[in-house]
Amino acid sequence: MSRESLVQQFRDRFHKDPDHLFFCPGRVNLIGEHIDYNGGRVMPCAISLGVSLAASKNIDKKIRFHCVNFPETAELHLQSSWSKSGKEWFNYPLGVINELVQREFPVSGLDLLYEGNLPIGAGLSSSASIEVLTGFALREMFGMEISRENLAILSKKAENDFIGVNCGIMDQFAVAMGKKDCSILLDCDSLDYEYLPFATGEYSLVVINTNKQRTLADSKYNERFAECGAALTILKQEMDIRNLCEADRAGFELHRNLFKDPVLEKRALHVISENGRVNDAVIALQTGDLEIFGKLMYASHQSLRDNYEVSCKELDTIVDFCKANDNCIGARMTGAGFGGCAIALIAKKSIHDFTDELTAHYHEMVGYKPDIFQTSAEAAVRRI
């Protein structure tokens, strides 16, 4: 939706012009999958798709939530706290407002209209985008003294405590802190981070939504978390480590005989090798070697498929197609797995042909079509 259309929608609903317009991107994780809870570092970037917000204060002492993408609306009186009610979309921004009010930041009545082009439930961080967007908007509108880093932490807390989803910090941090043509190398525990160049030159970053619902993602996430803990306990018998990512590949191979359960062995192998791939990816980006980066993406997917077992037919179909395509230098699943999205680096000159050919191949193999988006590493939440 264009800026003009969003403003007109706001006029139609609230019978006035909005005083402020904001945008928050979604994100993808370029490499470093399922290692953040094992002491590893992730490499997300903000993308061009995201969520927009038209906003104004009101004197009615009410907070009104509307969204172009959903029919549900809410009108709530200002008060000292709120609780989640149902599963409607507006609980996400309400949770952030609740956090701000609990911290005694001043909030008045608000008229809020959201609109997004992020596919819901595809693993591109739509919930984190709307959370950080809301916090940033209120910071700007009310002159709140709160850093972008703390907006990310506050938004994560809202999702953990108010929504009840035990997410990590990567999503909120990426959309609050992203930089154009950069990825973020982030330690999710310490929040130490650095920016790495990710200007893709003659290639485009392409997001491919499988359109498969990730029905297994949550339960399998918990299962993998427990398996990694068990693998760590085994390696601690001979290695002085606090988490799996402190073990290097040589140390793992030296003590691989400790594993009696092949499943735990494979889980440890993925985590340790993926952590190594992130370290190699840092060098690849610092030296501008996108082809090496692409090979690391393929290797990451193979490990996620074979060792961590979080891929699926839909994701494998996409990555296998990319491997056979001369105009693609790298592809992998991104996110929790079992559906959601893959990402790929595609020569800009062949985007149209790639899209047509992949769509036809995927439909033949899977039975329905993917959605394919050309994007890039973009700036974080901002005014528009």
Catalytic residues: 171
Query: In Å, how far are 8, 10, 65, 89 from 13, measured between CA atoms?
Result: 9, 5, 11, 18
Token output for 21:
């317009």
313 sits in which H/E element? helix 313-323
Q: Which residues lie closer than 8 Å to 353 by C-beta, 6 or more apart? A: 327
Which contacts qualify for 13-19: CB closer than 8 Å, 24 or more apart?
13/66, 13/111, 13/113, 14/56, 14/64, 14/66, 14/111, 14/113, 16/56, 16/111, 17/56, 18/54, 18/55, 18/56, 18/111, 18/113, 19/55, 19/56, 19/57, 19/141
In 3D, which of 163, 183, 164 has the Cα closest to residue 173? 183
Instruction: Say if residues 242 and 39 touch (Cβ distance below 8 Å).
Output: yes
